[in-house]
């Protein structure tokens, strides 16, 4: 039986395992347990910053996604940034990713968000198709980063 729930501090070790999988797949990031733990804890302990949703199969966490909040001046209200969407490779292909993403979209609406923005590697055509099937569209915006 699968369910979607908010992550707790007790879930951080498993969330770190999932992030390690994700960050070895993405070109821009590398796993770093201490930084990942600190970031996860900040989100979990500060709901105004965002929420982490987990997908459980029975009691095991098999997926996660972050919703981080900000205010859009273009829309005049709260929006979400979707990050760290990952399903354990052993559970892919069974619809869990769609359930988790649909749950995140519904949760963002409940939080008053008017838009969700996400980034994925431009070479990850499978992820792009997945998000497009769920209503996301490519943007003309180009992400730029400055590490501080």
For 128-139, what is each residue's pLDDT tens digit?
999 999 999 999
Q: How far apart are CA 132 and CA 148, in angstroms?
A: 32
Give the chain's mean pLDDT: 94
**CA 82 – CA 131 distance, rounded (Å):** 11
Q: How confident is the model at residue 145 (pLDDT cuts 50, 70, 90)?
A: confident
Calpha distance 65→22 (Å, rounded): 11
Beta bridge partners of 86: 64
User: What mean pLDDT do residues 7-26 have?
Assistant: 93
Q: Which domains does the chain have, with CATH numbers?
A: 2-133 (3.40.630.30)
Structure tokens at 1: 């039986």
Among 17-31, 50-64, 87-101, which stretch is predicted with the lowest mean pLDDT?
17-31
Query: Reduced to 3 states, what is the DSSP secondary structure of residue 125?
Result: helix
Separation between Cα atoms, residue 82 and residue 140, nearest integer Å = 18
The DSSP element (H or E) to which 109 belongs, if any, is helix 96-110
Q: Strand runs (DSSP E) across the chain, as ranges?
A: 2-6, 50-57, 60-72, 77-87, 116-118
Task: Please state, in angstroms and as integers, the Cα–Cα distance from residue 82 to each residue in 51, 60, 85, 90, 116, following that order.
Answer: 10, 22, 8, 23, 6
74-117: pLDDT as tens digits: 999 999 999 999 999 999 999 999 999 999 999 999 999 999 99
What is the value of pTM for the model shown? 0.93
Task: Report the pLDDT value the prediction gives residue 26, as an integer from 0 to 100.
Answer: 64
Q: How remote is the C-alpha of 127 from its chain's centroid?
A: 13
């Amino acid at each position: 039986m699968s369910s979607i729930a908010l992550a707790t501090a007790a879930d951080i070790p498993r969330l770190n395992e999932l992030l390690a999988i994700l960050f070895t797949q993405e070109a821009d990031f590398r796993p770093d347990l201490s930084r990942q733990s600190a970031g996860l804890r900040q989100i979990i302990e500060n709901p105004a910053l965002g929420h982490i949703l987990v997908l459980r199969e029975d009691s095991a966490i098999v997926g996660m996604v972050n919703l981080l909040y900000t205010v859009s001046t273009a829309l005049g209200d709260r929006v979400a940034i979707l990050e760290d969407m990952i399903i354990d490779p052993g559970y892919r292909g069974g619809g869990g990713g769609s359930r988790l993403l649909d749950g995140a979209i519904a949760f963002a609406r409940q939080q008053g968000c008017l838009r969700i923005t996400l980034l994925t590697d431009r070479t990850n055509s499978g992820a792009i198709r997945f998000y497009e099937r769920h209503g996301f569209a490519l943007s003309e915006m180009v992400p730029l980063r400055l590490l501080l």
